[in-house]
Amino acid sequence: FTSFFHLPGTSEEVAPPVQTCFMVPKKEINVVSDMAKWKRSQAYADYMGFILTLNEGVRGKKLTCEYKVSEPIEKLVALLNTLDRWIDETPPVDQPSRFGNKAFRTWYAKLDQEAERLVSAVIPKHLADAAPEVAVYLKESVGNSTRIDYGTGHEAAFAAFLCCLCKIGVLRVDDQMAIVFKVFNRYLEVMRKLQKTYRMEPAGSQGVWGLDDFQFLPFIWGSSQLIDNPSLEPRHFVDEKVVNENHKDFMFLECILFITEMKTGPFAEHSNQLWNISAVPSWSKVNQGLIRMYKAECLEKFPVIQHFKFGSLLPIQPVTS
């Protein structure tokens, strides 16, 4: 799966110089029948390859373990810290409706305006032309400013943003653990703060039948972290004590903690799918099942994918290899 990581000495060096052909990504999936085009696309293959590469990269590893932190990783964390600071600077406004606080639109307008500049600070000068293309995915990754909602399609845009940074060579193969543990984990913290502060609606939520109102990927990567864990089995994550003691090490438990903070009542009722997963015998089975579920419930659902944008880095063209 390392094919989309820009590897020196491969055929990519013979390709035309990267700089010339960046483009602002646009929608290509307009009707349900376009979904076949998506599943055959280079974008789908690269996106899934990226998700699965990271899935292997974090297997059996704790959030707190040692890993390399490169300069681009530090810069991405700084970018996310900026988004976090803007939340503090944009408090919710008084309004009659409980959900969807309109202050989110003010916060979003700032990102909309600054996204290219933020991305330019992460990528080297010789790749400056990529900023407008890559910035689109960043803007798409924080929720919808009209509906003031957030869901797995927005999360996918952030993964696509990171995938693009790998394709242009800003992030490299040895950044894998830091991509998930440092950057994606920080992204999750900022998204949780957005969801709480502006009381965002879940986008396209299946309610009690969905896995989670807002996220999916941290359950995949988080279950991979727990594969072959000597003491934590899937049945343990519904135990409050276990979650409280281990959530700083495992993304999956961090997600469970957030759900229990946000929802009241019996876990089996408000998070039925997760409750069912706690009965699966092993984490590797959980991990495989979640990957299948992610494809079926997110990547193969028109309401989610119709918003996905395609450019030169994640092209709609059919897979070549």
Residue range 140-163, pLDDT digits in tens: 999 999 999 999 999 999 999 999
DSSP letter, residue 123: S
Residue 232: predicted pLDDT: 97
pLDDT digits (tens, 9 = 90+) for 17-38: 444 599 999 999 999 999 999 9
- At 206 the pLDDT is 66
Domains of the chain, by residue range, sit at 66-204+303-309
Instruction: Work out the average pLDDT over 42-49.
Output: 96
Question: Is 29 in contact with 305 (CB distance < 8 Å)?
Answer: yes
pLDDT attached to residue 320: 82
Which tens digit of pLDDT belongs to each residue from 268-319? 999 999 999 999 999 999 999 999 999 999 999 999 999 999 999 999 999 9
For the chain, the distance separating the N- and C-terminal CA atoms, rounded to the nearest angstrom, is: 13
Question: Which residues fall within 8 angstroms of residue 166, CB to CB, at 6 or more apart?
Answer: 4, 5, 6, 50, 172
| Residues contacting 294, CB < 8 A, separation 6+ | 51, 216, 217, 220
Mean pLDDT (the chain, rounded): 92
